[in-house]
Structure 1
Amino acid sequence: MEERSGVSRRDFLKISTIAAAVPVVSGPKMVLAAGEQVPVHGPGKVPMTFNVNGKTYKASLEPRVTLLDALRDSLDITGAKRVCDKAECGACTVLLDDKPVYACSMLAIEGQGKKITTVEALMENGKLHPIQQAFVDNDASQCGFCTPGFVVACKAMLDKHPDPTPDDLLHELSGNICRCGTYAGIRGAIAQAARKGA
């Protein structure tokens, strides 16, 4: 019988298992991504700070929590609506540094250090923002689920295009859907708000 040299299969598997577990147990809190060292957050909750509607909020959340869930469930800011939860309808639209984003498809942790604006911030001193008033005046909402997202997206559009063309409307609001079909009222609301310099 020949003598085998080296490591047995059983010993090899034991050593491999231990070697594979070491990075998990004592792994670095930094990873290389796109050529840069970036911090790893989690598992478990991590402290986060948000600037929402001009106020500072602190929360302890898991890194996997979306901005929509953080706003609605942790910060009790419920204007942005969960409708499709797939970044297809726009009901959850908020402004991130004055640019519209779907809160359902963005991680809350990405919102740190940025200015987050929701529909609640548009009303000042009990007075509706001109876009909100235009939605009321033009009967631009039916069930109301899409309205907060449309209002926020319209504000972003009118800030960018004070006198929007039909092409501007198609492009800037293409991510917002009204399943009730009140698009004529929405167009009327935008025209009224633009005339009033919203």
Structure 2
Amino acid sequence: MKQRKLKLGVLGSGSGTNMQAILDAIEAGSLHAEIVLVLSDQEDAFILERARRVGIPAGLIDCGGFRSKFPEEKQAIVAQRLLGAGVDLVCLAGFMRLVKAELLNAFPQRVLNIHPSLLPAYPGLMAWKQAVDDGAAESGCTVHYVDVGMDTGPIIQQARVPVLEGDTAETLHQRIQVQEHRLYPEVIQGMASVLLG
């Protein structure tokens, strides 16, 4: 019997390059999954356009007018939308709001994030700039389970990226993204083996 595909729900706030990397891996046959729902807290986020272009249902997360807060009752609604779409695994892709219990409890150990540093170093925003400003010798990216903290969940896998002499925040970020786009689909494929058996 042919194994079914892992159903992914993606939450993002920006351009969606990590979601595109997931789509590319699916297209290439290296990731046995399908994205069934894309949600964003930003109406003009390009991640929504990327989804619509390939026929993936996409929608807006109503955060009740808050700029950075993600109200708990709104998280419960998002959880129901994801469950209703049959999502197995939730992937955060540049999602800029903290996820809390209402969403995490609906998907125990099934919410992933990719962060552009070697956690626990440099959590939070602009991690690549933090690394350059700090004079770090290396940076990278981390795929981790999401918990209620900011970038504090258990680490699944990391990729290292050296900080080169003369690196700016932008040049380092570009090289980190290359590794993000490789690592995230790989980890998701590993999760497919675990979740679908």
TM-score after normalising by structure 1 = 0.24
TM-score after normalising by structure 2 = 0.24
**Which structure is larger by alpha-carbon Rg, 1 or 2?**
1
Higher strand share: 2
